[in-house]
Structure 1
Amino acid sequence: MVKAKVAIIGAGLIGLSTAVCISDSIPDCTVTVIADRFTPNTTSDVAAGVLIPHFYPGTSVHQQKQWYRETFDFLSIICNSPNASEAGIHLISGWQIFKTVPDEKVPFWSDVVLGFRSMTERELKKFPQHKFGQVFTTLKCESPLYLIWLEKRLKENGGQVQVRKLEDLWELYGSYDIVVNCSGIGSRKLIGDLEIYPIRGQVLKVHAPWVTHFIRDGDGLTYIFPGIHSVTLGGTREKDNWNLAPDSSNSKNILNRCCALEPSLQAAKDIQVKVGLRPTRCAVKVQKETLVRGNEKLVVVHNYGHGAGGFSVHWGTAKEATQLVKECIAALQQPRCKAKL
């Protein structure tokens, strides 16, 4: 049987994880990742990589929880293996705090993370401006390390990577049987999806090794996420802002807000500024589509629009996209089988 040729568009977190999942799960296909940017120059490289879900209003809570649990379980296995250091996966504990008591004291993902509970009054004394808080342990991916590890795993599975900028998915017609679109914000131009838009995020990467617990304000705007080599301080959320240049006023504001939660950060050194555009939609798009141009057909599976929550659900959506690819391959092979009869 001739192996199906699958092209993955995009080499960020979603593209690489989807490519690995397909190459792990479908032996009768070849996988090629095509992108104009690879790590360390992707949006995923800017992300803190902490598994705390961001809500998608257009996706059911049940589906979001399933994606989150699948991702958490997948990364937990890596975290508990000899590959943890190379893949950059580790556990991280800390506090999520609120200035007013939220309507939902126990979020839908509370039984996926470890040790979830409400903060005690004594713990809340550290944050006098906040009235309520949650304590839990979750997982963190060191973004560049994880992306490098995924690419290595893809190549070990026989997959290939190709540096190439695409202007149109039809450029791949005839060369590949299935195209998997993981182009993120690029889908706005590549397939004309006007529902996806950027939310500009600026963060600081600082050297502050004494900070070992994460702190996240409940509104998601201010956060302190310790990593292996640096602490990520955030952030900004600027809808429809395409500017990738660092903004000094943003940096000052971020540092002030984070120091208000953790005063010791005033001694942080080696401050680096990073900017990324979160590919945001009302709902993550994971579905198959057949593009038609005259008598020509191009089979496409979409997996994009994860916004600020990509790390939290990436393996769950990769598994769903992989199942769609399996269905597409089966449909493509059916006429071939009939022709041999």
Structure 2
Amino acid sequence: MVAASAVVIGAGVSGLTTAVCLAEAGLDVRVDTDRLPGATTSAAAGAMWVPYLVGPRDLVDRWSRRTLAELTALSADADTGVRLTEGTHESRVPREMPAWGTVVGALPCPPEDLRDGYVTGWRYRAPLVDMPRYLDHLRRRLERAGGTVRQCRYDTLGEALRQAPVIVNCTGAEARFLAGDPAVDAVRGRLVVVENPGIDTFFCDDTPGAEELTCICPHADAVALGGTAEPGHWDLRPDEDAAREIVRRCTAVEPRLAGARVIGQRVGLRPVRTGVRLTHERHGDRLLVHNYGHGGAGVTLSWGCAREVVDRVRAAVGAT
């Protein structure tokens, strides 16, 4: 086992990004995880920059702006899996543009540009992330900074606190059990990945109160089609009926998807909470930092939250 001055629990996008930031700040970092990056909820994401199922608004605004800048910079390197992509959010009922629209310079869609059945919308350009490639990039970046990844499972935070002077809890929905936090719940999300028939712009149905999610996230050779938002469901097994319904909804919006070959299904658990928990506490000579509860915005908040973790660790260690 590699000794570490900081251990991050969890290898999703929040855990890996936090580990990268700590390692690049000069700490000896190890990521301990029961699921390797490719098996995490993050690997199942679409994924694009957009604040979704997360609060509080003031902190989300700060963290998401910082992450937007980081992801935009990363988009200059194709190997990261991040690219700036144009697309639309559209609504079937009249509504105001969400507050985050101003952050990405979103503009109203002319009526003739709206999809059938939609009455308002806005177009913008933002990072779209091929998550399997991006998680590989983060792991490589961590290893270049001297960090390591170890597969293991903790049943209690007390076990983890014996591992290093600094522990960072990035366990997502599992924080409900590991941290004993009943405010955390899982909102299951399903995606279907199909071959890309030539789509290069994203689409999201942003109708308030819509019972179903419809989103289309194109990547180089594939398109991620979503999706579902099922509170309280923890079962990660694929569902063929749900997959067919997702494809049907997305094809109704984008007819070019008709007949696209299905590559696979992705299922993940969004860690929804009343608000992101980014706090720290002392346990004797050990520092425990919590960084979880990012809802459907793990990618969107990842760098902003990770940088704040580094700031908290520096301040706390410097005070000892």
Structure 2 partner of 1:189: 177
Which of 296, 307, 310 is 1:322 aligned to? 310
Identity of aligned residues (%): 33
Taking a change above 3 Å as real, the CA distance of residues 259 and 198 of structure 1, as seen in their structure-2 partners, is same
Structure 1 partner of 2:78: 85
Could you state the TM-score of these two structures normalised by the residue count of structure 2? 0.94
- Equivalent positions of 1:148-297 (< 5 A) are 148-219=136-207, 221-291=213-283
Structure 2 partner of 1:337: none
- Equivalent positions of 1:120-135 (< 5 A) are 120-124=110-114, 127-135=115-123
In 2, the alpha carbon distance for the partners of 1:212 and 1:329 equals 46
Once the two structures are TM-superposed, the CA of residue 67 in structure 1 deviates from its matched residue by 0.9
Structure 1: runs of 5 or more not aligned: 335-341
Structure 2: runs of 5 or more not aligned: none
Q: Residue deviations 1:65-124, cap 9 Å, x none?
A: 1111100101111212xxx2211110111111101111x23x22223325x210102212
In 2, the alpha carbon distance for the partners of 1:249 and 1:289 equals 45
Once the two structures are TM-superposed, the CA of residue 305 in structure 1 deviates from its matched residue by 0.9
Asked if the contact 2:13–2:135 (Cα under 8 Å) also holds between the matched residues in 1, the reply is: yes
Asked if the contact 1:96–1:216 (Cα under 8 Å) also holds between the matched residues in 2, the reply is: yes
In 1, the alpha carbon distance for the partners of 2:4 and 2:316 equals 10
Structure 1 partner of 2:10: 10
User: What root-mean-square deviation, in Å, do the aligned CA atoms of Structure 1 and Structure 2 show?
Assistant: 1.7
In 1, the alpha carbon distance for the partners of 2:269 and 2:163 equals 31
Structure 2 partner of 1:99: 92
Asked if the contact 1:170–1:298 (Cα under 8 Å) also holds between the matched residues in 2, the reply is: no
Asked if the contact 1:284–1:305 (Cα under 8 Å) also holds between the matched residues in 2, the reply is: yes
Structure 1 partner of 2:65: 69
In 2, the alpha carbon distance for the partners of 1:50 and 1:78 equals 14
Once the two structures are TM-superposed, the CA of residue 297 in structure 1 deviates from its matched residue by 5.6
Could you state the TM-score of these two structures normalised by the residue count of structure 1? 0.88
- SS in structure 1 of the partner of residue 28 of structure 2: strand
Alignment: residue pair count: 314
- SS in structure 1 of the partner of residue 50 of structure 2: coil
Q: Residue deviations 1:277-323, cap 9 Å, x none?
A: 111111111010234xxxx5642000011111111111011111111
Which of 29, 32, 41 is 1:31 aligned to? 29
Structure 1 partner of 2:46: 48
Asked if the contact 1:178–1:328 (Cα under 8 Å) also holds between the matched residues in 2, the reply is: no
Taking a change above 3 Å as real, the CA distance of residues 4 and 35 of structure 1, as seen in their structure-2 partners, is closer
Structure 1 partner of 2:288: 300
Asked if the contact 2:280–2:290 (Cα under 8 Å) also holds between the matched residues in 1, the reply is: yes
Which structure is larger by alpha-carbon Rg, 1 or 2? 1
Taking a change above 3 Å as real, the CA distance of residues 251 and 4 of structure 1, as seen in their structure-2 partners, is closer
